[in-house]
Amino acid sequence: MRSPRLTIIVPCYNEEAVLPKSAHVLAEILMGLIQHKQVNSESKLLFVDDGSQDATWALVKELETQLPVVTGIKFSRNFGHQNALMAGMKTACPTSDMMITIDADLQDDPQVIPEMVARFHAGSDVVLGVRNDRSSDSHFKRWTAERFYGLMNRIGVQLVPDHADFRLLSQRAVRALLSYQETNLFLRGIVPQLGFPTTKLYYRRRPRFAGVSKYPLRKMLSFAFDGITSFSIAPIKVILMLGVLISGGSLLMMVYAVIQGLLGTAISGWSSLMTSLWFLGGMQLIGISVVGEYVGKIFAEVKHRPRYIIETDDYTVTQQPALLDSQRVHV
């Protein structure tokens, strides 16, 4: 019986500073797995160039000549990290029995990849890489992460705390994932919904050895907001409750004003009037903005535009049937 075929998918956006080292580290791990017959000899290390403006793609082409396991695909422009992951999985899925996604900066520990493969052999379709601590993060980043995961759980989104996009998925799990057609992707929320046998693998996150983060605070906040609005209408419900509370407060103030008028103690005040108007006007603008965000997402979904456009595709492997669950080698 043949060994399962693995594809390690690495999204890249302006990663020329880290790519040479990352490629050699990941290639060494992959070739070790091949040598020990844990994966098929045609397993690949697939780099997805997400419209980089530097020499990332040139480095991928150079690495293809140096390392036989390296291959790549190139987007025509920048389509975003989540779309790069989906493109890599869609490209590899027909010929791969399992796929691992990991960022190019290798802050997610690549040395746990062999253990991920072992858990696939043991029957897991989904292996989630989960950070075992956040001591390397700033206090602000730890606090915001805790608030985000807590909020998502309260509104019913099944997120795994401290899990990002470092994971292994079997071919059938990827096929199920690819059936999700929404334009606004939030894979951290979708993957736990797949329902296949899942295990968590804990690791210690390492500092970035070169380059700069592609997720500054602004992008992180935008990513979090997309996650909330892609999976829940809780913000609209919050606005509804605020509207009810404000309306109730207005009625109480109206009763109070009538009583003060009957008693002859009413004091007319420009400041209180303007403050009320500004408050209500602000709440209306917030409400309109949140509803507009959902309308905008609907607008993007109904157009059915492609998630990405591939300019160059170097991924070529021999087509072989996927392993059945009963054919997995249990270790």
3-state secondary structure of 331: coil
> Does one domain contain both 296 and 310?
no
Cβ neighbourhood burial of 316 (10 Å; 0-12, 13-18, 19+)? exposed
> Does one domain contain both 196 and 161?
yes
| Type of residue at 292 | G
Does residue 160 lie in a domain region? yes
3-state secondary structure of 44: strand
Count of the separate structural domains present in the chain: 2
> Does one domain contain both 204 and 295?
no
Give the residue ranges of the chain where pLDDT is below 70. 1, 134-138, 140-142, 145-146, 148-149, 151-152, 155-157, 208-234, 237, 240, 244, 247-258, 260-261, 264-275, 278, 282, 285, 300, 303, 317-331
- Alpha helix stretches (DSSP H) within the chain: 19-35, 56-66, 81-92, 113-121, 139-154, 171-178, 187-190, 217-231, 234-263, 270-302
| Type of residue at 311 | E
> Does one domain contain both 128 and 170?
yes
> Does one domain contain both 36 and 123?
yes
> Does one domain contain both 296 and 314?
no
Residue 94, domain CATH: 3.90.550.10
> Does one domain contain both 158 and 238?
no
Does residue 71 lie in a domain region? yes
Q: Which domain holds residue 178?
A: 6-214+306-327
- The C-alpha atoms of residue 47 and residue 39 are separated, in whole angstroms, by 19
Does residue 295 lie in a domain region? yes
pLDDT at position 229 = 65
> Does one domain contain both 312 and 292?
no
Contact 201, 159 (CB under 8 A): no
**Across the strands, what pairs with 203?**
131
In this predicted model, what pLDDT tens digit does every residue of 94-146 receive, in sequence order?
999 999 999 999 889 999 999 999 999 999 999 999 988 766 666 766 677 66
In this predicted model, what pLDDT tens digit does every residue of 137-188 receive, in sequence order?
667 666 776 676 676 677 666 778 888 899 999 999 999 999 988 877 888 8
> Does one domain contain both 95 and 195?
yes
Query: Looking only at Cα atoms, what is the longest distance across the chain?
Result: 94
pLDDT at position 331 = 47
> Does one domain contain both 165 and 240?
no
- Which residues touch 73 (CB under 8 Å, ≥6 apart)? 46, 47, 48, 49, 87, 88, 91, 310, 312, 313, 314, 315
> Does one domain contain both 72 and 148?
yes
Give this prediction's pTM: 0.75
